Amino acid sequence: MKVLFDTSVLVAAIVEPHPLHLSAFRWLKRARAKEFDMLIAGHTLTELYAVLTTLPIRPKMTPGIVGHLIHSDVETLAKIVSLSPLEYSTVVRRMVNLGLSGGVIYDAIIVKVAQKSQVDHVLTFNIDDFTRVWPEGADRLITP
């Protein structure tokens, strides 16, 4: 089974004080136990860094700590899948055709990676956003 992790789940899994930590962390533990193949979009790696280094928590997560956590909790576990320039253009055209604007395009990038990788599930806390860009894949969207 292939499971693509969204940034929302990775943030919750890594940040202990996060209100959804326990449910997200269970999935990270399952990935460590190799119960399924964990995948992430290349974009998710950079988004995760941006979010973790700017979270308003104390003590603040430094770039060094975040880099270590991303390496140990994500890079060593997940297959990182990137899109080609043509695939990015396809994502933009899809957004135009759906009449969607703004940050939801980042969910569309993750959806394109899910399609490219033929994943069984996309794990996210943002089901509604993903359903907007991938209504035909709604049955593959799961919340931890």
What's the rounded Cα separation, in Å, for the pair 11 and 14? 5
Taking alpha carbons only, the member of 44, 137, 120 closest to residue 82 is: 44
- Domain span holding position 98: 2-142
Quote the percentage of the chain above a pLDDT of 90: 97
- The tokens 């907007």 sit on which residue? 132
Strands 2-5 and 121-123: parallel
pTM of the predicted model, to two decimals? 0.92
Domain count within the chain: 1
Strand partners, 121: 3
Note the pLDDT tens digit of each residue in 58-111. Answer: 889 999 999 999 999 999 999 999 999 999 999 999 999 999 999 999 999 999
CATH of the domain at 72: 3.40.50.1010
